[in-house]
Structure 1
Amino acid sequence: MPHLTIEYSSNLATAITPAVLRTLNHALLGTGQFEEADIKSRALAFDCVAIGTTDSPRGFLAARLAILSGRSSEIKRDVANVLLEALGSLITASGLELQISVEIVDIDRDSYAKTFTV
């Protein structure tokens, strides 16, 4: 834990690459809330999107960070802001009206299961 999932419109000027994901992982590690090897991130691009009702050039990037339950609202807000700042510094809009959002969701600690294999 945590699991970072980024969904974004494919019209962004910046591609979401493994290097970008690792930079975001570093930002999450810097919060002091997570262990390095536990941070997992992935990104999904969407070609077919509609934002609003006009044909204006718009894009979106929506980050969802799933973490084990038990952290305070203040900690979650701080983590969300760190992630939002990192995304804003990494992603270029290039003529688009770009919306970037971050959502922190709790995973029930009692029902979460995980194993390691080598």
Structure 2
Amino acid sequence: MPHLNIEYSDNLSALDTGALLLAMNQALLACGQFEERDIKSRAQKMDAFLIGVSLAQRAFVHAKLSILDGRTPAIRQDLAACLLQVLQQQCWPGGIEVQLCVEVLEIERASYAKACIEC
């Protein structure tokens, strides 16, 4: 824990997902809430999407951070703000409106199981 899932529209073809995931993981580590080896992130390009009803050029990036419950609303808000700042610092294409969103979700500890296997 945490798990960071990033969904983005496929019209952001120049998005360097490897660099973005590294920057997001570094930001999460700097927040002091997580152990480095526990931070897991992934990015998924969404081929089918629609933003509103206009024919305007629009794109999105939606980051969902899942964490175990028990952190205060202030900590969750800080995590969201930190990740949003990283997203805002990326190079986005001109001529297109890009909507950036971060959502922090809590997972009930009682319903989460984890095992680490070393071979």
Tell me which interval the TM-score lies in, with the shorter structure as reference length. over 0.9
Paired residues, number = 118
**1:41-52 alignment to 2 at 5 Å?**
41-52=41-52
The farther-off stretch of 16-25 and 98-107 is 16-25
The percentage of counterpart residues that share the same residue type is 47
TM-score (norm 1): 0.94
SS in 2 for 1:101: strand
Matching residue of 1:56: 56
Deviations 1:49-94 (A, max 9, x none): 1101011000011000000000000000001000000011024142
TM-score (norm 2): 0.94
SS in 2 for 1:45: strand
Matching residue of 1:29: 29
Matching residue of 2:84: 84
Contact 1:5 1:43 in 2 (8 A): yes
Unaligned 5+ runs, structure 2: none
What is the Cα-based RMSD across aligned positions, in Å?
Answer: 1.2
Matching residue of 1:74: 74
Unaligned 5+ runs, structure 1: none
2:95 alignment partner AA: G
SS in 1 for 2:87: helix
